[in-house]
A and B are shown apart, each in its own frame.
Chain A
């Protein structure tokens, strides 16, 4: 009996110590991880609209304008909007709105930045900044050739070409566009003129 008590005591002390150290480690590294992720999104936005061409993120974008409403727009467990960013061109006019969306692919979530022109409702830029799709199969959807077919389509009627054997990835991309479309219509993002 005494022995079991000693074991229980020992195990409790160990678990408390371990939880404490784990929490400490988490506290120290989590901010850095979050900062890395934000930096990656910044870099990828720059891929679509680089600051060399005079584009810049709207510094005055009110935080609660879009982000408060970027809740889940689907019934699915996965897929939501991580953030919405406005891009200004050299004349400080709104050039495009970038949706940071993700959806469940075959190997984890597929993260993409999709840029929409609010004046013409067209898709003007797509880049996949994090995915684990199968190389040469699902990953084909993330290449230049596949992205080019998406540009110029109306955001509410996007048709994604199918690739043999990559139906799960195809479904994920469709889901991303339907999420954006739902938000676009709901929040009346379209700007006239």
Chain B
């Protein structure tokens, strides 16, 4: 399971600004919709918007702490035992956050149930620790963690909003009812509805992304075509010019 990491020699790491780091986690590499990681809590706690936001923000905290901690010890930990050490650090952070929630927000703790300790095995956290925090500075890692966590929260909230709105007819947040309707498709708050909503959402977002990529590619192709055509035209003009020149050269040589 533990293999030695070999850093490619002579390649300078490209640094991206913290803001780009943050945005990347929220949109381009959104853990829920693009990377499809961390599915268990996504389906399990999205029956209400409050629970989803609570879970998402907890994951943001956990990610910031674990990424920061692991990035700060990345040079001390021997490479062979880094996975168990990372796991222990993550488990410790999650346990502490669990107790904090139980003490100060007990309703949220009861609502999240078993999904709270399961943040330990959430693919996102170990994945980012292994892929990013073990190679980058504390500062970068913290922003990456924040970005991923906020992206995860965005994904959870979108799903929860859809499920709660269409499934129970009203959306409640901190005792404010945002919208109330009189009809609801109540199967959406049950397990089958979770799968269905998530599948449709990912499908729609994928379609939009593919569309955009196609358009980008089309524009790119167009540009390349125009450039090639220009090049070809230039080449032709050059050739035509060269065809007239040899006669002059011969005369010069003969001189």
Binding site for B on A (CB under 8 A): 3, 6-7, 10-11, 14-15, 18, 21-22, 25-26, 28-30, 32-33, 36, 40, 130, 132
Contacts and interface: CB of A to CB of B under 8 A. Distances in A.
Nearest to A30: B99
Contacts of B103: 29, 32-33, 36
Contacts of A32: 103-104
A25 B85 contact: no
A132 B100 contact: no
Contacts of A33: 99, 102-103, 106
Contacts of B99: 25-26, 28-30, 33
5 contacts: A7-B78, A10-B85, A29-B103, A33-B99, A36-B106
B110 A130 contact: yes
B100 A11 contact: no
B65 to A, nearest CB: 12
Interface in B181-209: none
Contacts of A15: 88
A70 B85 CA distance: 44
A25 B103 CA distance: 11
Contacts of B78: 3, 6-7, 10
B95 A22 contact: yes
B84 interface: yes
Given A29-B102, A36-B103, A22 B92 contact: yes
Contacts of B218: none
B90 to A, nearest CB: 11
Contact of A7 (B80, B96, B104, B113): B80
Nearest to B93: A21
Nearest to A11: B81
B104 A21 contact: no
Given A25-B95, A25-B96, A14 B88 contact: yes
9 nearest A-B pairs in the assembled complex, by CB-CB distance: A32-B103, A29-B99, A29-B103, A25-B96, A36-B106, A18-B92, A33-B102, A33-B103, A7-B81
A85 B38 CA distance: 45
